[in-house]
Amino acid sequence: MAASTLTEVARLAGVSPATASRVLNGSARKPGQDIAERVRQAAESLGYIPNAQAQGLAKSSSGLIGLIVHDIADPYFSAIARGVQEAAREQRKMVLLATTGGGPAEEKEAVAAFAARRADSIVIAGSRSRRPEDRDGNAELAAELDRYCRNGGRVAVVGHPVVGAAAPEGYHVVQVPNQELAGQLAIELSKDWDGEFVIIGGPEGLFTSDDRIRGFQEGLEQAGRQPAEVLRNSFNRTGGYEAGLQLAARIKAMRSGGVESTKLCIFAVNDVMAIGAAAALRAEGLRIPRDAAIAGFDDIETLRDFRPALSTVRLPLEEIGRLATRATARPGGESINQDEDHGQEAGLPGPIRGEVTLRRSTEVAA
């Protein structure tokens, strides 16, 4: 059966299509109560379904929030997405989701698609990048976001501003103190660990990874320790696994050569990389923390079932998603944290706070 049309509803109610549209699509210009009731009864009897785009035009709001993440299968992003969904529900809005794999060119396409659907706001979660191969994509994404904000859209970015974005209003940054927290983790680990430290990081130029590496090195320096060696790989479980295989081979080679060495303490810049590295060590017959210690960052939900329990830095991921979404409901120019370059003001919720959490995976006694 063909869907009923607005014209049919208007004819049955005895009004013009424009009047029926004002009643059903939420226009501020409303006819009298008796006319409105006739239109609603006609729509119900015909099974008419209002057009969402028409409603958006009438209300100057589509009721949609766009969410862009690198990989929804990653527990880090799924936790943020839960927070976004919760805040969207508070606003009586729906969430549209796009996963991009982390490329700014793909993020630009997602922003354009959300803008075409008149999304009221967009939340972007995922590390920014200054890698040369992302230069053009960054420029295109920044231009698309600036255009979206100039047309009344609001944007919240988790972590760092989009490279090159210059929209003076409607653009918000929810800052995460990655560098500071990684430094705190290094200091805590240094108190009980007298061996060498190794960092498993993402590609150079990835802001989140670079901040955490920098912070951890600063923490080691503050604790009077030597800088850690840095192994770089893809910013995911596979990257952690490959780095873990390298470290496992090194540990086994030193043992077979009769070299006396203290155990390694490995810091992976996110939990999924730490999980991958731990899996590689186990696959090579090594045990944690007997043969090597390991720590991560984020405290993703997956860790509840990970053994041995992983030391990490806990971030309030769902709260980050909620704050980002609520920020986009504020008037243009306000934001969650202070950032002079993006119009952020005082009097708003304080900065995101994390917590170093030491568990079994970095215990000295095994």
> pLDDT at position 253, please?
85
- CA-only gyration radius of the chain, Å: 26
Q: Are 335 and 173 in contact (CB under 8 A)?
A: yes
Closest C-alpha among 316, 321, 299 to residue 83: 321
> pLDDT at position 52, please?
53
> pLDDT at position 341, please?
41
**Cβ neighbours of residue 28 under 8 Å, at least 6 residues apart?**
none
> pLDDT at position 29, please?
67
Mean pLDDT confidence for 261-268: 85
Is the pLDDT confidence value at 58 over 50? no
Encode pLDDT of 194-233 as tens digits. 889 999 999 999 999 999 999 999 999 999 999 999 999 9
> pLDDT at position 203, please?
95
Is the pLDDT confidence value at 349 over 80? no
Distance CA 270, CA 298 (A): 6
Q: Which residues pair with 267 in a beta bridge?
A: 199, 295
C-alpha torsion angle, residues 356, 366, 227, 317 (rounded to 10)? -20
Encode pLDDT of 39-56 as tens digits. 888 888 877 766 555 555
Closest C-alpha among 316, 322, 309 to residue 355: 316
Q: Which residue has the higher pLDDT, 60 or 189?
A: 189
> pLDDT at position 338, please?
38
Which helix (H) or strand (E) covers residue 297, if one does?
Answer: none
> pLDDT at position 333, please?
38
Is the pLDDT confidence value at 187 over 60? yes
If you count DSSP H runs as helices and E runs as strands, how many of each does the chain have, helices first? 12, 11
Is the pLDDT confidence value at 135 over 80? yes
Encode pLDDT of 288-346 as tens digits. 999 999 999 999 999 998 999 999 999 999 999 999 999 888 554 343 443 444 433 33
Report the range of poorest mean pLDDT among 26-35, 177-186, 318-327: 26-35
pTM of the model: 0.79
Q: Are 120 and 92 in contact (CB under 8 A)?
A: no
> How many whole angstroms from its chain centre is CA 256?
43
**pLDDT-derived band at 257, boundaries 50, 70, 90:** low
Is the pLDDT confidence value at 347 over 50? no
| CA distances from residue 345 to 150, 162, 180, 186, 341 in whole angstroms, order as listed | 20, 19, 22, 32, 11
| CA distances from residue 179 to 107, 176, 265 in whole angstroms, order as listed | 25, 9, 19
What's the mean pLDDT when you consider all of the chain? 85
Q: How far separated are the first and last CA of the chain, in Å rounded?
A: 70
> pLDDT at position 335, please?
38
Distance CA 10, CA 103 (A): 48
Mean pLDDT confidence for 354-364: 94
